[in-house]
Amino acid sequence: MLLDKSILELAAGLRQDEFTSVDLVNECYDNIAKYNDKINAFITILPRETAIKQAQSVKLTSPLSGLPFVIKDCFNTSGITTTAASHVLKNYIAPYDATVYKKLLTAGAILIGKMNMDAWGHGGSSENTDFGPVKNPWDTTRVAGGSSGGPAAAISARMAVFAIGEDTGGSIRNPAAWCNITGLKVTYGRVSRYGSIAYASSFDTVGPMAKTAQDCAIVLETIAGVDPYDATSSPISVPSYSTLLNKKVSDLTIGIPDEFFQAGLDPEVKTAVLKVAEDLKNAGAKIKNLSMPLFDYGLAIYYLIGPSETSSNLARYDGIRYGQGREFFTDETTRRILIGTYALSAGYYDAYYKKAQQVRTLFIEEYKKALTKCSVLLQPITPTQPPKIGELMSDPLQNFLADIYTTSQNPIGVPSLAFPCGFTKTGLPIGAQLVGPMFSEDLLLNIGYQYQQLTDNHLKSPLSKGDLEGLKPKP
């Protein structure tokens, strides 16, 4: 299957006429026809004929030229519906393109669809959507993770070469872990948010999702950089990430925060994540245990500031200027709006929102302190294996707790790389994350790449004999 190949292998194959961009497009659409009804990863599938026409005329000017990709349905795309997985925007067509989308088109990549997600980014399972839940390709009775569940499921089931997701509190990393792909939550400001429908503006980040760390590095080279339309985008120059992957890990120290491995973490997940430390140690890295005592407050900070910002951001969706009325908000979205409105209200602002911002500052110092003792931090991504569909949505508190290990990085702005690190005894994927200092994407991608040279978890796909049977790898 062509879609099992890396981006560099595909780019080389196109240039050497081993296959064509049309072949890639057709393989994507063939897999969509086979698997999407079972997975429900797409909200909008662009016409095959349109993609083929683009593939026939593409000029190979970059490694992404001629490669089919998908994008989470929270990014504006002129002429194509953008829904944020909510019936509030069911028929909304933006008059302009998100910067990340425009950069990919300029690079010659071919959009084939817009992906299902938790509405407005509110959720960790891609069940809080008006377009039906996304199902995990490894076990379609389970969730794919969220809120970027559609992009993750599509990459896992080989329906696209790479994807663009958005991460506010784990929305790239959570589904990457549960679908056995690689995903990067970038430093705040590394990639422009212009044209992305906002959840929490001071947390939101835009990043790549793909099979490998190397693929993510190549995509990041294209989408990163300052944007005059986004005042929060960083003017720091963009490294050539894909050429910085071959450094050995022998000079690095991997920090293990004790608080991330306490009660509540599934034993199989804990074992798999700590095995990453063992593998990196065998490759020459040093391992250092350390403490981050403020960890217990991370979820509370996120779920005060995040809903406060979303209550403000979603106020524009009143059905008067565009879209439909607020009666189309889901229960989960309504819950977050109410929490945020309450935290910002007179008499409660100082007690909740202001206090959360003060603790946020302490958390910044906590991460800075930890990262002076080590090169990067190794952490779990999710506390559990992928839950059955319906389990998280029936328990709002458990829905919040699904993001317990991923919500402390976004308020600080630091980057985090999620990557496959094993499977449960029943064959379900497990992921780990590496967290580094601001603008250390090159370091994270380098370690991720080196780890993926030692292991083959990232090469495994749920596709077997033409359907979604699941590979059931040996643990």
The string of pLDDT tens digits covering residues 203-235 is: 999 999 999 999 999 999 999 999 999 999 999
Using DSSP, state whether 199 is helix, strand or coil: coil
CATH code linked to domain 2-459: 3.90.1300.10
Each residue's pLDDT tens digit, 25-54: 999 999 999 999 999 999 999 999 999 999
pLDDT, position 468: 67
Give me the percent of the chain exceeding a pLDDT of 70. 97
Given phi > 0 = left and psi -120 to 50 = alpha, else beta, which region is 133?
beta
Q: Structure tokens of 426?
A: 């029943």
pLDDT, position 402: 84
Contacts 24+ apart (CB under 8 A), 228-232: 229/99, 229/192, 229/194, 229/195, 230/99, 230/192, 230/193, 230/194, 232/188, 232/189, 232/193, 232/201
Using DSSP, state whether 336 is helix, strand or coil: helix
Closest CA to 157 of 35, 72, 6: 35
pLDDT, position 467: 58
Q: Catalytic amino acids?
A: 72, 147, 171
- Residue showing tokens 């800075």: 368
Cα angle value 302/308/314 (rounded, 5°)? 120
Using DSSP, state whether 343 is helix, strand or coil: helix
CA atoms of 126 and 116, how far apart (whole Å): 7
Each residue's pLDDT tens digit, 167-209: 999 999 999 999 999 999 999 999 999 999 999 999 999 999 9
- CA 210 vs. chain centroid, Å, equals 10
Q: Are 273 and 432 in contact (CB under 8 A)?
A: yes
Q: Structure tokens of 269?
A: 């997940």
* Polymer length of the chain: 475
Neighbouring-strand partners of residue 68: 110
Phi, psi of 166 (to 5 degrees): -135, 135
Extract the residue ranges of the chain whose pLDDT is less than 50: 465, 471-475
pLDDT, position 473: 41
pLDDT, position 64: 98
pLDDT, position 399: 77
